[in-house]
Amino acid sequence: MDQELLNFLNPRKGHIRLESGYHGGMWLDLDPLFVMPGRIRPLVETLAGRLQLHNIEAVCGPLVGGAFLAQAVASLLDIEFYYAERFVPTVRDTLFPVEHRIPEGVGSMVSGKRVAVVDDALKELTAADEAAISALIKKAVG
């Protein structure tokens, strides 16, 4: 990763418990990426180009972070954009305790569409991604 970009993301090392319940050794504050969208535009264009090859009809991301990326990709591809809202159940004693749900007002609009789920995470599928995918599947099948 480019050192200037890494410094911009304020990396913190140590034992970090992630939202998913997993543990990591470094935390990157990704929110600053979206303050100056032009800074990440080349990365968004690359992602949009790759996703375009899959004939997607919409892009969805978790409301915090991922939705900004999803909206930028959707805008470049001139396709639909959806977001999933974070929901924390009262009982959180499992791995991946946080859910993400697509708002009722647009949930039915996504049914049957070919949707890419994106997030601002850098390394792996996150709990938010899995929850957004689950929300899409629930809306699509019923």
Residue 31 lies in a domain: no
Number of independent structural domains in the chain: 1
Residue 18 lies in a domain: no
Residue 116 lies in a domain: yes
The CATH number assigned to the domain holding 74 equals: 3.40.50.2020
Give the 3-state secondary structure of 28-85: CCCHHHHCCHHHHHHHHHHHHHHHHCCCCCEEEEECCCHHHHHHHHHHHHCCEEEEEE
Residue 30 lies in a domain: no
Residue 8 lies in a domain: no
Residue 26 lies in a domain: no
Residue 16 lies in a domain: no
Residue 17 lies in a domain: no
In tens digits, what is the pLDDT along the chain, a chain of 142 residues? 466 666 667 777 888 777 667 777 877 777 777 888 888 888 889 889 999 999 999 999 888 778 888 999 999 999 999 998 888 777 766 666 677 788 888 888 988 899 998 887 654 445 555 565 566 555 544 4
